[in-house]
Structure 1
Amino acid sequence: MPKNKGKGGKNRKRGKNEADGEKHVLVFKEDGQEYAQVLRMLGNCRCETMCVDGTKRLCHIRGKMQKKVWIAAGDIILVGLRDYQDDKADVILKYRPYEARQLKAYGELPENTRLNKGIVDEEDEGGLYDYVEFK
């Protein structure tokens, strides 16, 4: 019988979620950074975003975040702007939903930003019955 040469199976590769219970420190933008909302995921670690300054940019997800932090459409992220390309940026950080609500409360995000795209607002009367009911 062959000798095992590996260090474990697929559970070892998945890793542990040790940071689930603790809250993160809220990070604000600095010079050369901007808040953005993801419009759609494009694949190949890229996404199309609408920045707070009104510019639509193509963003690249950095390697440290790949397969560890999952980004979906509607998420609020912090992007680093490029000096030499205005229409491209790099994703630095993904804000969790409670962090995005705190940013909106502090006035960092505009009031018209919809944080929870999947949840129907009370003011949104047209989207009240946008689901299919099976009998």
Structure 2
Amino acid sequence: MKEMVMPQQGELLGRVIKLVGGDNIIVKCTDGKVRTCRIRGKIKRRMWIRDNDLVLVAPWDFQSDRADIIWRYISAHAEKMKAEGHLQGLE
């Protein structure tokens, strides 16, 4: 199993609510905000993102209701983060 990517400064965890299309996804973040996120090009070709996936997002500095998706967690990592209490506000 690959190592788990943890949120750094300025990054949040989020749960995918809906795929909108055109690389845009609606995500509910741990700070309580619902953001429109886009899939970064590097990830777009590498991983599929589905409804209810746990993702790592980086909110934009100049537009706080938008963000970039940096990482998608596999289900084993999502369960581990839930057990450790990192998903406050997403249940």
Question: Is TM (by shorter chain) over 0.5?
Answer: yes
Letter in 1 for 2:11: Q
Residues 96 and 42 from structure 1, CA distance in 2 versus in 1: closer, same or farther, beyond 3 angstroms? same
Gapped regions of structure 1 (runs ≥ 5): 1-22, 114-135
Letter in 1 for 2:20: L
Q: 1:70 aligns with which of 32, 48, 56?
A: 48
* RMSD of Structure 2 on Structure 1 (CA): 1.3
Tell me if 1:84 matches 2:62. yes
Residues 77 and 112 from structure 1, CA distance in 2 versus in 1: closer, same or farther, beyond 3 angstroms? closer
Task: Pick the structure with greater CA Rg.
Answer: 1
TM-score scaled by structure 2?
A: 0.94
Gapped regions of structure 2 (runs ≥ 5): none
Please give the alpha-carbon distance, in whole angstroms, between the structure 2 residues aligned to 1:112 and 1:52. Answer: 6
Match of 1:104 in 2: 82
Q: Within 5 Å, give how 1:24-103 maps onto structure 2.
A: 24-103=2-81
Please give the alpha-carbon distance, in whole angstroms, between the structure 2 residues aligned to 1:112 and 1:63. Answer: 26
Work out whether residues 104 and 111 of structure 1, in 8 Å CA contact, stay in contact via their aligned partners in 2: no
Helix, strand or coil: the match of 1:104? Answer: helix
Please give the alpha-carbon distance, in whole angstroms, between the structure 2 residues aligned to 1:65 and 1:34. Answer: 17
TM-score scaled by structure 1?
A: 0.64
Residue 110 (structure 1) shift = 2.1
Determine what percentage of the aligned residue pairs are the same residue. 33
Greater RCO, 1 or 2 (C-alpha within 8 Å, sep 6+) = 2
Residue 90 (structure 1) shift = 0.1
Helix, strand or coil: the match of 1:108? Answer: coil
Letter in 1 for 2:5: V
